[in-house]
Chains A and B, each alone.
Chain A
Amino acid sequence: MNALMAAARRDVLLALRRRADVLTAIFFFVMVVSLFPLGIGPEPALLKKIAPGVLWVAALLATLLGLPRLFHADYLDGTLEQMALSPSPLALLIAGKMLAHWLLCGLPLVILAPVLGLQFGLDAASLGMLSFSLLLGTPLLSLIGAMGAALTLGVRGGGVLLAVLVLPLYIPTLIFGAGAVAAESAGLGAEGHLSLLAALLALAVFFAPWATTAALRIALE
Protein backbone atom coordinates (compact mmCIF):
# COMPACT_ATOMS: atom_id res chain seq x y z
CA MET A 1 0.00 0.00 0.00
CA ASN A 2 2.92 2.33 0.74
CA ALA A 3 4.25 1.68 -2.72
CA LEU A 4 0.86 2.50 -4.25
CA MET A 5 0.59 5.78 -2.39
CA ALA A 6 4.20 6.71 -3.14
CA ALA A 7 3.71 6.16 -6.87
CA ALA A 8 0.47 8.15 -6.82
CA ARG A 9 2.02 11.00 -4.83
CA ARG A 10 4.93 11.19 -7.18
CA ASP A 11 2.74 11.43 -10.28
CA VAL A 12 0.49 14.05 -8.71
CA LEU A 13 3.50 16.13 -7.68
CA LEU A 14 4.97 15.86 -11.18
CA ALA A 15 1.68 16.93 -12.73
CA LEU A 16 1.42 19.89 -10.37
CA ARG A 17 4.89 20.99 -11.44
CA ARG A 18 3.74 21.08 -15.09
CA ARG A 19 0.14 22.06 -14.76
CA ALA A 20 -0.38 22.79 -18.45
CA ASP A 21 -1.00 19.11 -19.31
CA VAL A 22 -3.77 18.70 -16.78
CA LEU A 23 -5.39 22.02 -17.62
CA THR A 24 -5.33 21.28 -21.34
CA ALA A 25 -7.40 18.14 -20.86
CA ILE A 26 -9.90 20.02 -18.71
CA PHE A 27 -10.26 22.85 -21.22
CA PHE A 28 -10.62 20.28 -23.98
CA PHE A 29 -13.56 18.80 -22.06
CA VAL A 30 -15.19 22.22 -21.68
CA MET A 31 -14.69 23.08 -25.32
CA VAL A 32 -16.00 19.80 -26.74
CA VAL A 33 -19.12 20.08 -24.60
CA SER A 34 -19.65 23.68 -25.70
CA LEU A 35 -19.34 22.78 -29.37
CA PHE A 36 -22.47 20.64 -29.40
CA PRO A 37 -25.04 23.40 -28.85
CA LEU A 38 -23.22 25.40 -31.53
CA GLY A 39 -23.46 22.52 -33.95
CA ILE A 40 -26.98 21.41 -33.12
CA GLY A 41 -28.76 24.59 -32.18
CA PRO A 42 -29.88 26.01 -28.84
CA GLU A 43 -33.27 24.34 -28.56
CA PRO A 44 -33.65 23.62 -24.81
CA ALA A 45 -35.62 20.37 -25.05
CA LEU A 46 -33.15 18.83 -27.49
CA LEU A 47 -30.12 19.99 -25.50
CA LYS A 48 -31.56 18.52 -22.34
CA LYS A 49 -32.08 15.22 -24.10
CA ILE A 50 -28.57 14.96 -25.52
CA ALA A 51 -26.79 16.37 -22.46
CA PRO A 52 -25.92 13.05 -20.76
CA GLY A 53 -24.50 11.54 -23.92
CA VAL A 54 -22.57 14.66 -24.88
CA LEU A 55 -21.04 15.13 -21.44
CA TRP A 56 -20.12 11.48 -21.19
CA VAL A 57 -18.59 11.27 -24.66
CA ALA A 58 -16.64 14.45 -23.94
CA ALA A 59 -15.40 12.91 -20.67
CA LEU A 60 -14.32 9.81 -22.60
CA LEU A 61 -12.36 11.87 -25.10
CA ALA A 62 -10.80 14.09 -22.43
CA THR A 63 -9.58 11.00 -20.57
CA LEU A 64 -8.16 9.62 -23.79
CA LEU A 65 -6.15 12.79 -24.31
CA GLY A 66 -3.86 12.23 -21.33
CA LEU A 67 -3.46 8.47 -21.70
CA PRO A 68 -0.51 8.32 -24.13
CA ARG A 69 1.51 10.28 -21.55
CA LEU A 70 0.58 7.98 -18.67
CA PHE A 71 3.64 5.73 -18.97
CA HIS A 72 5.57 7.43 -21.73
CA ALA A 73 7.83 9.74 -19.72
CA ASP A 74 8.63 6.98 -17.23
CA TYR A 75 9.35 4.63 -20.11
CA LEU A 76 11.73 7.03 -21.82
CA ASP A 77 13.70 8.09 -18.76
CA GLY A 78 14.07 4.60 -17.30
CA THR A 79 11.84 5.09 -14.28
CA LEU A 80 9.62 2.26 -15.47
CA GLU A 81 12.64 -0.08 -15.48
CA GLN A 82 13.37 0.94 -11.91
CA MET A 83 9.75 0.22 -11.00
CA ALA A 84 9.90 -3.18 -12.65
CA LEU A 85 13.01 -3.98 -10.59
CA SER A 86 11.57 -2.72 -7.34
CA PRO A 87 11.01 -5.27 -4.57
CA SER A 88 7.47 -3.86 -4.30
CA PRO A 89 5.01 -5.54 -6.65
CA LEU A 90 4.90 -3.69 -9.97
CA ALA A 91 1.11 -4.02 -10.04
CA LEU A 92 0.86 -1.89 -6.89
CA LEU A 93 3.09 0.84 -8.32
CA ILE A 94 1.05 0.79 -11.50
CA ALA A 95 -2.17 0.96 -9.51
CA GLY A 96 -0.71 4.07 -7.88
CA LYS A 97 -0.12 5.62 -11.27
CA MET A 98 -3.68 4.78 -12.26
CA LEU A 99 -4.95 6.43 -9.10
CA ALA A 100 -2.94 9.54 -9.91
CA HIS A 101 -4.32 9.57 -13.44
CA TRP A 102 -7.85 9.50 -12.08
CA LEU A 103 -7.15 12.24 -9.52
CA LEU A 104 -5.68 14.48 -12.21
CA CYS A 105 -7.93 13.63 -15.10
CA GLY A 106 -11.14 12.02 -13.83
CA LEU A 107 -11.85 13.95 -10.67
CA PRO A 108 -11.78 17.41 -12.32
CA LEU A 109 -14.36 16.15 -14.82
CA VAL A 110 -16.59 14.93 -12.00
CA ILE A 111 -16.44 18.38 -10.42
CA LEU A 112 -16.79 20.33 -13.64
CA ALA A 113 -19.53 18.31 -15.34
CA PRO A 114 -22.48 19.70 -13.32
CA VAL A 115 -21.45 23.25 -14.21
CA LEU A 116 -21.49 22.33 -17.89
CA GLY A 117 -24.72 20.41 -17.37
CA LEU A 118 -26.33 23.70 -16.33
CA GLN A 119 -25.66 25.01 -19.84
CA PHE A 120 -27.79 22.18 -21.14
CA GLY A 121 -30.65 22.88 -18.80
CA LEU A 122 -30.39 19.73 -16.68
CA ASP A 123 -32.32 19.83 -13.42
CA ALA A 124 -30.68 19.45 -10.02
CA ALA A 125 -31.37 15.73 -9.66
CA SER A 126 -29.89 14.98 -13.08
CA LEU A 127 -26.85 17.11 -12.31
CA GLY A 128 -26.29 15.16 -9.12
CA MET A 129 -26.66 11.90 -11.02
CA LEU A 130 -24.25 13.16 -13.67
CA SER A 131 -21.58 13.77 -11.04
CA PHE A 132 -22.25 10.51 -9.33
CA SER A 133 -22.17 8.45 -12.52
CA LEU A 134 -18.92 10.14 -13.50
CA LEU A 135 -17.55 9.47 -10.02
CA LEU A 136 -18.17 5.75 -10.58
CA GLY A 137 -17.30 5.79 -14.27
CA THR A 138 -14.15 7.89 -14.59
CA PRO A 139 -12.00 5.50 -12.49
CA LEU A 140 -13.13 2.83 -14.91
CA LEU A 141 -11.97 4.98 -17.81
CA SER A 142 -8.56 5.41 -16.17
CA LEU A 143 -8.23 1.69 -15.47
CA ILE A 144 -9.24 0.52 -18.94
CA GLY A 145 -7.26 3.29 -20.58
CA ALA A 146 -4.11 2.33 -18.69
CA MET A 147 -4.26 -1.15 -20.25
CA GLY A 148 -4.36 0.42 -23.70
CA ALA A 149 -1.58 2.84 -22.80
CA ALA A 150 0.62 -0.05 -21.64
CA LEU A 151 -0.07 -2.08 -24.78
CA THR A 152 0.80 0.79 -27.12
CA LEU A 153 3.81 1.98 -25.12
CA GLY A 154 6.68 2.85 -27.44
CA VAL A 155 4.77 1.61 -30.47
CA ARG A 156 4.73 3.77 -33.56
CA GLY A 157 1.50 5.65 -34.06
CA GLY A 158 0.84 5.01 -30.37
CA GLY A 159 -1.67 7.78 -29.70
CA VAL A 160 -4.10 6.97 -32.49
CA LEU A 161 -3.69 3.25 -31.96
CA LEU A 162 -4.49 3.74 -28.29
CA ALA A 163 -7.80 5.37 -29.20
CA VAL A 164 -8.66 2.52 -31.57
CA LEU A 165 -7.94 -0.07 -28.87
CA VAL A 166 -9.56 1.67 -25.95
CA LEU A 167 -12.70 3.30 -27.35
CA PRO A 168 -14.57 0.02 -28.04
CA LEU A 169 -13.78 -1.06 -24.49
CA TYR A 170 -15.24 2.21 -23.19
CA ILE A 171 -18.65 1.47 -24.68
CA PRO A 172 -20.22 -0.31 -21.68
CA THR A 173 -19.07 2.48 -19.37
CA LEU A 174 -20.56 5.04 -21.70
CA ILE A 175 -23.86 3.18 -21.97
CA PHE A 176 -24.33 2.71 -18.25
CA GLY A 177 -22.97 6.13 -17.30
CA ALA A 178 -24.93 8.20 -19.77
CA GLY A 179 -27.88 5.86 -19.30
CA ALA A 180 -27.97 6.56 -15.57
CA VAL A 181 -28.28 10.30 -16.18
CA ALA A 182 -30.85 9.84 -18.95
CA ALA A 183 -32.90 7.51 -16.72
CA GLU A 184 -32.75 10.03 -13.88
CA SER A 185 -33.93 12.95 -16.03
CA ALA A 186 -36.68 10.77 -17.51
CA GLY A 187 -37.90 10.08 -13.98
CA LEU A 188 -36.94 6.40 -14.05
CA GLY A 189 -34.69 4.91 -11.42
CA ALA A 190 -30.98 4.81 -12.17
CA GLU A 191 -30.10 2.12 -9.63
CA GLY A 192 -29.72 -0.57 -12.28
CA HIS A 193 -27.27 1.50 -14.29
CA LEU A 194 -25.30 2.48 -11.24
CA SER A 195 -24.98 -1.01 -9.84
CA LEU A 196 -23.80 -2.30 -13.21
CA LEU A 197 -21.29 0.53 -13.37
CA ALA A 198 -20.10 -0.38 -9.88
CA ALA A 199 -19.83 -4.04 -10.87
CA LEU A 200 -17.71 -3.11 -13.88
CA LEU A 201 -15.54 -0.95 -11.65
CA ALA A 202 -15.02 -3.82 -9.22
CA LEU A 203 -14.05 -6.10 -12.11
CA ALA A 204 -11.65 -3.54 -13.55
CA VAL A 205 -10.00 -2.77 -10.19
CA PHE A 206 -9.22 -6.45 -9.91
CA PHE A 207 -8.24 -7.10 -13.50
CA ALA A 208 -6.76 -3.93 -14.98
CA PRO A 209 -3.61 -3.47 -12.85
CA TRP A 210 -2.69 -7.07 -13.53
CA ALA A 211 -3.20 -6.83 -17.29
CA THR A 212 -1.44 -3.47 -17.41
CA THR A 213 1.54 -4.86 -15.53
CA ALA A 214 1.80 -7.80 -17.91
CA ALA A 215 1.67 -5.44 -20.89
CA LEU A 216 4.31 -3.17 -19.39
CA ARG A 217 6.71 -6.03 -18.75
CA ILE A 218 6.34 -6.98 -22.40
CA ALA A 219 7.00 -3.40 -23.46
CA LEU A 220 10.16 -3.30 -21.33
CA GLU A 221 11.60 -6.55 -22.65
Chain B
Amino acid sequence: MLTAAHLACSRGERRLFADVSFSLAAGEWLHVQGENGAGKTSLLRLLVGLSPADAGEIRWRGALVGGMKTTPETVGFRRELLYLGHHAAVKDELDALENLRFSAAIDGLAFDQLKALAALRRLGLRGRESLPVRVLSAGQKRRVLLARLLTRTAAVWVLDEAFNALDGGAVQLLGALLNEHLAAGGVAVLTSHQPLPLPGGRVLAL
Protein backbone atom coordinates (compact mmCIF):
# COMPACT_ATOMS: atom_id res chain seq x y z
CA MET B 1 0.00 0.00 0.00
CA LEU B 2 2.67 2.45 1.08
CA THR B 3 6.00 2.30 -0.71
CA ALA B 4 9.03 4.50 -0.65
CA ALA B 5 11.95 4.24 -3.03
CA HIS B 6 15.44 5.70 -2.74
CA LEU B 7 14.53 8.53 -0.39
CA ALA B 8 17.28 10.95 0.53
CA CYS B 9 17.23 13.85 2.91
CA SER B 10 19.75 16.38 4.16
CA ARG B 11 19.55 19.10 6.74
CA GLY B 12 21.70 22.04 5.77
CA GLU B 13 25.13 20.65 5.02
CA ARG B 14 24.55 17.29 6.64
CA ARG B 15 23.22 14.30 4.76
CA LEU B 16 20.83 12.50 7.09
CA PHE B 17 20.09 9.45 5.01
CA ALA B 18 20.11 8.32 1.42
CA ASP B 19 18.60 5.48 -0.57
CA VAL B 20 15.94 4.57 1.97
CA SER B 21 13.39 2.19 0.48
CA PHE B 22 10.61 0.15 2.00
CA SER B 23 7.23 -1.26 1.13
CA LEU B 24 4.30 -1.91 3.44
CA ALA B 25 1.36 -4.15 2.58
CA ALA B 26 -1.96 -4.02 4.40
CA GLY B 27 -1.49 -5.07 8.03
CA GLU B 28 2.22 -4.35 8.10
CA TRP B 29 4.05 -1.72 10.08
CA LEU B 30 7.46 -0.16 9.94
CA HIS B 31 9.59 0.45 12.98
CA VAL B 32 12.00 3.29 12.21
CA GLN B 33 15.00 3.00 14.48
CA GLY B 34 18.08 5.10 14.92
CA GLU B 35 20.03 7.23 17.32
CA ASN B 36 19.04 10.75 18.22
CA GLY B 37 19.59 12.95 15.20
CA ALA B 38 19.66 10.06 12.76
CA GLY B 39 16.73 11.54 10.87
CA LYS B 40 13.77 9.52 12.14
CA THR B 41 11.52 12.53 12.47
CA SER B 42 12.77 13.92 9.17
CA LEU B 43 11.85 10.67 7.44
CA LEU B 44 8.36 10.73 8.95
CA ARG B 45 7.79 14.37 7.98
CA LEU B 46 8.96 13.56 4.49
CA LEU B 47 6.60 10.59 4.26
CA VAL B 48 3.54 12.62 5.23
CA GLY B 49 4.51 15.47 2.91
CA LEU B 50 5.52 18.18 5.35
CA SER B 51 8.95 18.58 3.84
CA PRO B 52 10.37 17.74 0.42
CA ALA B 53 12.75 14.87 -0.20
CA ASP B 54 16.08 15.53 -1.90
CA ALA B 55 15.52 12.45 -4.01
CA GLY B 56 13.23 9.45 -4.28
CA GLU B 57 9.51 8.89 -4.46
CA ILE B 58 6.67 7.91 -2.18
CA ARG B 59 3.60 6.05 -3.41
CA TRP B 60 0.28 5.44 -1.73
CA ARG B 61 -1.90 2.82 -3.41
CA GLY B 62 0.30 3.25 -6.46
CA ALA B 63 -0.14 7.01 -6.81
CA LEU B 64 2.75 9.43 -6.29
CA VAL B 65 2.17 11.39 -3.11
CA GLY B 66 5.56 12.68 -2.07
CA GLY B 67 6.37 16.35 -2.05
CA MET B 68 4.44 19.31 -0.79
CA LYS B 69 2.38 20.13 -3.86
CA THR B 70 -1.34 19.82 -3.39
CA THR B 71 -2.60 17.40 -6.02
CA PRO B 72 -5.71 15.19 -6.03
CA GLU B 73 -3.44 12.29 -5.12
CA THR B 74 -1.93 14.01 -2.08
CA VAL B 75 -5.36 15.16 -0.92
CA GLY B 76 -6.58 11.56 -1.21
CA PHE B 77 -3.55 10.44 0.77
CA ARG B 78 -4.12 13.06 3.46
CA ARG B 79 -7.69 11.89 3.82
CA GLU B 80 -6.44 8.44 4.80
CA LEU B 81 -3.47 9.68 6.81
CA LEU B 82 -3.16 10.34 10.50
CA TYR B 83 0.13 11.87 11.60
CA LEU B 84 0.84 12.48 15.25
CA GLY B 85 4.10 14.30 15.74
CA HIS B 86 6.27 15.18 18.70
CA HIS B 87 4.01 18.02 19.63
CA ALA B 88 0.76 17.54 21.42
CA ALA B 89 -1.30 19.60 18.92
CA VAL B 90 -3.72 19.94 21.81
CA LYS B 91 -4.92 23.32 22.99
CA ASP B 92 -4.61 23.96 26.72
CA GLU B 93 -7.57 26.30 26.82
CA LEU B 94 -10.01 23.82 25.31
CA ASP B 95 -11.34 20.69 26.95
CA ALA B 96 -10.68 17.23 25.56
CA LEU B 97 -13.94 17.02 23.68
CA GLU B 98 -13.53 20.44 22.08
CA ASN B 99 -10.03 19.53 21.04
CA LEU B 100 -11.33 16.47 19.26
CA ARG B 101 -14.15 18.44 17.69
CA PHE B 102 -11.81 21.02 16.21
CA SER B 103 -9.39 18.37 15.02
CA ALA B 104 -12.26 16.80 13.13
CA ALA B 105 -13.32 20.19 11.75
CA ILE B 106 -9.82 20.91 10.51
CA ASP B 107 -9.77 17.52 8.83
CA GLY B 108 -13.12 18.33 7.24
CA LEU B 109 -14.89 15.44 8.91
CA ALA B 110 -18.26 15.29 10.62
CA PHE B 111 -17.88 15.09 14.39
CA ASP B 112 -19.47 12.18 16.19
CA GLN B 113 -19.75 13.14 19.84
CA LEU B 114 -20.68 9.68 21.08
CA LYS B 115 -17.72 8.17 19.31
CA ALA B 116 -15.44 10.83 20.77
CA LEU B 117 -16.75 10.25 24.28
CA ALA B 118 -16.27 6.52 23.88
CA ALA B 119 -12.71 7.12 22.66
CA LEU B 120 -11.87 9.33 25.62
CA ARG B 121 -13.32 6.74 27.98
CA ARG B 122 -11.31 3.97 26.46
CA LEU B 123 -8.20 6.08 26.96
CA GLY B 124 -9.00 6.43 30.61
CA LEU B 125 -10.20 10.01 30.58
CA ARG B 126 -13.69 9.32 31.88
CA GLY B 127 -14.90 12.29 33.88
CA ARG B 128 -12.24 14.55 32.43
CA GLU B 129 -13.91 15.18 29.09
CA SER B 130 -14.96 18.70 30.04
CA LEU B 131 -11.89 19.86 31.93
CA PRO B 132 -9.57 22.30 30.20
CA VAL B 133 -6.59 20.31 28.99
CA ARG B 134 -4.41 22.76 30.93
CA VAL B 135 -5.23 20.97 34.20
CA LEU B 136 -4.39 17.50 32.86
CA SER B 137 -0.99 15.87 33.30
CA ALA B 138 1.47 15.45 30.44
CA GLY B 139 0.52 11.81 30.05
CA GLN B 140 -3.17 12.60 30.04
CA LYS B 141 -2.62 15.28 27.38
CA ARG B 142 -0.92 12.67 25.30
CA ARG B 143 -3.96 10.43 25.75
CA VAL B 144 -6.23 13.20 24.46
CA LEU B 145 -4.10 13.28 21.36
CA LEU B 146 -4.20 9.50 21.04
CA ALA B 147 -8.00 9.59 21.16
CA ARG B 148 -7.75 10.80 17.58
CA LEU B 149 -6.58 7.32 16.63
CA LEU B 150 -10.11 6.18 17.49
CA THR B 151 -12.20 9.12 16.30
CA ARG B 152 -10.47 9.50 12.97
CA THR B 153 -10.60 6.54 10.62
CA ALA B 154 -7.33 6.53 8.73
CA ALA B 155 -5.59 3.74 6.88
CA VAL B 156 -2.08 5.06 7.52
CA TRP B 157 -0.85 5.92 10.96
CA VAL B 158 2.41 7.78 11.19
CA LEU B 159 3.35 8.14 14.85
CA ASP B 160 6.44 9.94 16.04
CA GLU B 161 7.55 8.84 19.52
CA ALA B 162 3.96 8.01 20.36
CA PHE B 163 5.02 6.02 23.43
CA ASN B 164 6.70 8.97 25.14
CA ALA B 165 5.23 10.22 28.40
CA LEU B 166 2.85 7.29 28.61
CA ASP B 167 2.54 5.07 31.66
CA GLY B 168 2.53 1.27 31.50
CA GLY B 169 -1.22 0.99 31.08
CA ALA B 170 -1.29 3.52 28.25
CA VAL B 171 1.59 1.79 26.46
CA GLN B 172 -0.37 -1.45 26.52
CA LEU B 173 -3.47 0.34 25.34
CA LEU B 174 -1.66 1.95 22.42
CA GLY B 175 -0.23 -1.46 21.55
CA ALA B 176 -3.76 -2.85 21.52
CA LEU B 177 -4.98 0.02 19.32
CA LEU B 178 -2.15 -0.60 16.87
CA ASN B 179 -3.00 -4.29 16.84
CA GLU B 180 -6.61 -3.56 15.96
CA HIS B 181 -5.55 -1.08 13.30
CA LEU B 182 -3.21 -3.56 11.64
CA ALA B 183 -5.71 -6.38 11.94
CA ALA B 184 -8.23 -4.21 10.11
CA GLY B 185 -5.78 -3.88 7.22
CA GLY B 186 -4.17 -0.58 8.07
CA VAL B 187 -0.48 0.25 7.89
CA ALA B 188 1.63 2.17 10.38
CA VAL B 189 5.02 3.82 10.56
CA LEU B 190 6.41 4.35 14.05
CA THR B 191 9.48 5.66 15.70
CA SER B 192 10.20 4.39 19.16
CA HIS B 193 13.21 3.61 21.29
CA GLN B 194 11.58 0.60 22.89
CA PRO B 195 10.85 -2.77 21.30
CA LEU B 196 7.24 -3.19 20.27
CA PRO B 197 5.62 -6.62 20.51
CA LEU B 198 3.45 -6.34 17.41
CA PRO B 199 3.12 -8.81 14.54
CA GLY B 200 3.94 -7.95 10.96
CA GLY B 201 6.68 -5.52 11.81
CA ARG B 202 9.53 -4.47 9.56
CA VAL B 203 12.53 -2.64 10.84
CA LEU B 204 14.28 0.25 9.19
CA ALA B 205 17.50 1.31 10.84
CA LEU B 206 18.77 4.76 9.95
In the complex, A touching B, CB below 8 Å?
Answer: yes
State which of B49, B91, B98 has its C-beta within 8 Å of the C-beta of A85.
B49
**A77–B90 contact, CB under 8 A?**
yes
Bin the interface of chain B by size. Answer: 20 to 34
User: Which of A9-17, A127-135, A201-209 faces chain B?
Assistant: A9-17
Bin the interface of chain A by size. Answer: 20 to 34
Tell me if A42 counts as interface (CB < 8 A to partner B): no
- Which chain A residue lies CB-closest to B106? A86
Contact with B along A116-145 (1 / 0, CB 8 A): 000000000000000000000000000000
User: How many whole Å from A71's CB to the nearest CB in chain B?
Assistant: 14
Tell me if B138 counts as interface (CB < 8 A to partner A): no
A88 to B48, CA, bound (A): 15
| Total of A-B residue pairs, C-beta within 8 Å | 78
B75: chain A residues within 8 A (beta carbon): 87
A98 to B185, CA, bound (A): 40
Would you call the interface of chain A mostly helix, strand, loop, or mixed?
helix
Contact with B along A5-40 (1 / 0, CB 8 A): 011011001100110000000000000000000000
Tell me if B14 counts as interface (CB < 8 A to partner A): no
Chain A residues with CB under 8 Å of chain B are: 2-3, 6-7, 9-10, 13-14, 17-18, 76-79, 81-90, 93, 217, 220-221
Residues A79 and B89 in contact in the complex (CB < 8 Å), given A2-B108, A86-B107, A87-B75: yes
A81 to B68, CA, bound (A): 12
Residue from A9, A76, A217 with most neighbouring chain B CB atoms (10 Å)? A217
14 residue pairs A–B, Cβ–Cβ below 8 Å: A3-B108, A6-B102, A7-B105, A17-B93, A77-B88, A81-B87, A81-B89, A82-B107, A84-B50, A85-B48, A85-B49, A87-B79, A87-B108, A90-B70
Tell me if B51 counts as interface (CB < 8 A to partner A): yes
A90 to B69, CA, bound (A): 11
**B108–A88 contact, CB under 8 A?**
yes
Tell me if B52 counts as interface (CB < 8 A to partner A): yes
A10: chain B residues within 8 A (beta carbon): 102, 105-106
